[in-house]
Amino acid sequence: FCFCLTGFWCCCHWAQPPTDSSSHKKASLDRMGIFSKPAYTTSLSAQSDANKSDRLIFSKMRKTNIVDMLQFLTLDLLPAKNGEEPTMQFLLEVVDILTNYVRKTFDRSTKVLDFHHPHQLLEGMEGFNLELSDQPESLEQILVDCRDTLKYGVRTGHPRFFNQLSTGLDIIGLSGEWLTSTANTNMFTYEIAPVFVLMEQLTLKKMREIIGWPDGEGDGIFSPGGAISNMYSVMIARYKFFPEVKTKGMTAAPRLVLFTSEHSHYSIKKASAALGFGTENLILLSTDERGRVIPADLEAKVIDAKARGCVPMFVNATAGSTVYGAFDPIHEIADICEKYNMWLHVDGAWGGGLLMSRKHRHKLCGVERANSVTWNPHKMMGVPLQCSAILVRERGVLSGCNSMCAGYLFQPDKQYDVSYDTGDKAIQCGRHVDIFKFWLMWKAKGTIGFEQHIDKCLDLSHYLYTKIKGREGYQMVFDGEPQHTNVCFWYLPPGIRDMPDGQEKREKLHKVAPKIKALMMESGTTMVGYQPQGDKVNFFRMVISNPAATRSDIDFLTDEIERLGQDL
């Protein structure tokens, strides 16, 4: 074995290995030209000037000037001897950068983004170079890197960022994430995450109560996103009906088929591929014009599958589809699931939040009949990414499905009640603490605060819908008031408006949304998503989950679309 084979970490890279840390530090600073040629100074000063007015609050807090960080490397921070002072100073500088960013995020006079193409960022912007090197950088440069990382990113909390289902920057949630990072622990055992494990348990129970399962009974776990939560649901369903698959594999089961709407999230398809069902055994259900599953189509396809010798096992009902925001009729689907003995999963990743609103929860009517539910607080409830729960009505199947009883992690002879060691239920081993920010937000807002947020977002989307319905140049993708905050529409620039319907108009219209979106991103003023759907050419999908958005931001968006689309 030869180090040189790696082409990188070969023995000839340095004449000799580094010796003690102080001489190394001095040497490496020399190599970096820090003592001789502070290349970053220009960039930093330029930025400092620009940010001067934003640095009011923290400016008094600094014991020393920012330039002091020049003399330090990461080796000088804790756990280094005498590391406490530089550590505190460095963290304070970082917090200064972050709080400036937070304030600007909510300031409508700042851009949503400062767009650059990949090759531009890869070539390196002034003072900001993504390449990693063998030698350390000074802490001063690290601070510049932090600032620039934010500068060239996208402000997802900006009141005019409408691009994704997850938007906004909740201050309590943010604080929760900062604390979570500082605690830096793992959800697999009570032993090392006692408080977080209990918070997860209590919060999941509360969510099950809100779903409507008696006494909040059941099981669940937070997972790394809605796609994994949906994957869990398929795994658990399979375990419930064919537990022998766990040991013997899919060949031990008959040919199983799954059902989901053609409007549903692609994670169901990913799960059917990953778990060994095959995407061809995922049967897509037709929807009505509003994107809701037609129950009769489900029943017909179940009967057809049985006739072909397949075993219908699992139905996914979407509560809040990604594009249209449609809610499938859960009660009617549940009737069919009961009749044919199939698992009913409700994918409420996007729409689950509406359960918190007395005004809107009727859209998930029947959810209490589901066997499992995906619900992502990081979408409609404004919790920072990531925060997704899979909730299961029957106790025991989640554990049964996944447990492997690894003796080195889940010892039965601990001094505490080991039923709190939840790790063996998961397909993960280590699991990030996603619960704390959500728990803390719930404490701070109360259930009532989530309700207010959700009602407000739906009011705003009603405002947008009412505004553009019938307005010149706009055309709705489907008729009627949207069920969720998704408002789907085409904008027709004047030059297209009066064209006769037909292929040419379609082709032109298909290019409008991408073009407007590109102009938006280049001007950095706002962001909204677009996509085609089925035979429908590219249209805008406006979604509102951002607590910072107001009617004026909605007005800004339509003005901007009209301004940028004027001459297309």
Site for its own copies in 180-219 (CB under 8 A): 180-186, 190-199, 202-203, 206, 209-212, 214-215
Binding residue (CB under 8 A) for its own copies from 49, 60, 500, 567: 60
Instruction: Extract the tokens encoding 454.
Output: 């959700």
- Interface with its own copies by CB under 8 A: which range of 37-45, 247-255, 285-293, 336-344? 247-255
User: In what helix (H) or strand (E) does residue 88 lie, and over which residues does it extend?
Assistant: helix 84-105
Binding residue (CB under 8 A) for its own copies from 26, 35, 45, 57: 57
Task: For residue 424, count other CB atoms closer than 10 A to its CB.
Answer: 18
Find the binding residues for its own copies in span 390-409 (CB under 8 A). 401-402, 404, 406-409
Could you give the angle at which helices 139-151 and 84-105 cross, rounded to 10 degrees? 10
Find the binding residues for its own copies in span 19-48 (CB under 8 A). 21, 24, 28
Handedness of CA 232, 235, 238, 243 (dihedral sign): negative
Shortest Å, Cβ 269 to its own copies: 5
Binding residue (CB under 8 A) for its own copies from 110, 135, 475, 523: 135
Find the binding residues for its own copies in span 248-267 (CB under 8 A). 248-252, 255, 265-267
Site string for its own copies, 446-485 (x = CB under 8 A): xxxx--x---------------------------------
Q: Which residue has the tokens 């580094």?
A: 18
Binding residue (CB under 8 A) for its own copies from 348, 493, 547, 565: 547
451 φψ region: left (φ > 0), alpha (ψ -120 to 50), beta (else): alpha
Q: Are the beta carbons of 476 and 489 closer than 8 angstroms? A: yes
Q: Quick one: 341 or 411, whose CB is closer to its own copies?
A: 411
Binding residue (CB under 8 A) for its own copies from 22, 42, 149, 466: 149
Q: Quick one: 471 or 507, whose CB is closer to its own copies?
A: 507
Shortest Å, Cβ 304 to its own copies: 18
Count of residues near its own copies by CB under 8 A: 203
> Does 280 engage in binding with its own copies (CB under 8 A)?
yes
d(CA 530, CA 510): 10
Shortest Å, Cβ 472 to its own copies: 26
Could you give the angle at which helices 226-241 and 267-274 cross, rounded to 10 degrees? 50
Binding residue (CB under 8 A) for its own copies from 121, 294, 311, 476: 121
> Does 557 engage in binding with its own copies (CB under 8 A)?
no
Shortest Å, Cβ 107 to its own copies: 9
Instruction: Extract the tokens encoding 256.
Output: 């199983």
Shortest Å, Cβ 560 to its own copies: 16
Q: Are the beta carbons of 542 and 528 closer than 8 angstroms? A: yes
d(CA 104, CA 95): 14
Q: How many helices and strands (H and E) does the chain possess?
A: 18, 12
Shortest Å, Cβ 1 to its own copies: 4
Find the binding residues for its own copies in span 331-390 (CB under 8 A). 331, 355-356, 358, 361-362, 365-366, 368, 378, 384-386, 388
Contacts of residue 122, defined as CB under 8 A and 6 or more positions apart, other chains included, come to: 130
Q: How are strands ordered across the β-sheet holding 474-476?
A: 161-162, 527-533, 536-542, 487-491, 474-476
Shortest Å, Cβ 380 to its own copies: 14
Strands 527-533, 161-162: parallel, antiparallel or unpaired by DSSP?
parallel
Q: Quick one: 50 or 448, whose CB is closer to its own copies?
A: 448
> Does 146 engage in binding with its own copies (CB under 8 A)?
yes
Helix runs in 212-329, H state only: 226-241, 245-248, 267-274, 295-307
- Interface with its own copies by CB under 8 A: which range of 244-252, 294-302, 337-345, 496-504? 244-252
d(CA 449, CA 353): 12
Q: Quick one: 153 or 494, whose CB is closer to its own copies?
A: 153
> Does 428 engage in binding with its own copies (CB under 8 A)?
yes
Q: Quick one: 4 or 499, whose CB is closer to its own copies?
A: 4
> Does 425 engage in binding with its own copies (CB under 8 A)?
no
Shortest Å, Cβ 480 to its own copies: 20
Q: Are the beta carbons of 331 and 365 closer than 8 angstroms? A: yes
Binding residue (CB under 8 A) for its own copies from 46, 50, 67, 91: 91
In DSSP terms, 128 is beta-bridged to 125
- Interface with its own copies by CB under 8 A: which range of 41-49, 311-319, 433-441, 556-564? 433-441
Shortest Å, Cβ 470 to its own copies: 26
> Does 427 engage in binding with its own copies (CB under 8 A)?
yes
- Interface with its own copies by CB under 8 A: which range of 159-167, 333-341, 463-471, 494-502? 159-167
Task: Examine residue 17 and say whether the peptide bond preceding it is cis (omega within 30 degrees of 0).
Answer: no
- Interface with its own copies by CB under 8 A: which range of 36-44, 299-307, 431-439, 500-508? 431-439
Q: Quick one: 1 or 498, whose CB is closer to its own copies?
A: 1
Nearest C-alpha neighbor of 437 from the set 429, 448, 426, 445: 445
- Interface with its own copies by CB under 8 A: which range of 36-44, 165-173, 284-292, 468-476? 165-173
Shortest Å, Cβ 377 to its own copies: 12
- Interface with its own copies by CB under 8 A: which range of 43-51, 423-431, 465-473, 498-506? 423-431
Provide the Cα torsion 188, 240, 262, 386; round to 10°.
-10
Concatenated DSSP letters for 480-498?
Answer: S--SSS-EEEEE--HHHHT
Concatenated DSSP letters for 416-481?
Answer: S-GGG--GGGSS-SS----HHHHHHHHHHHHHHHHHHHHHHHHHHHHHHHHHHTT-TTEEESSSS-
> Does 491 engage in binding with its own copies (CB under 8 A)?
no
Q: Quick one: 54 or 562, whose CB is closer to its own copies?
A: 54
Check residue 125 and report its DSSP letter.
B
d(CA 143, CA 139): 6
d(CA 179, CA 182): 5
Buried b / exposed e over 231-269, threshold 16 CB at 10 Å, is bbbbbbbbbbbbeebbeeeeeebeebbbbbbebbbebbb
Shortest Å, Cβ 20 to its own copies: 10
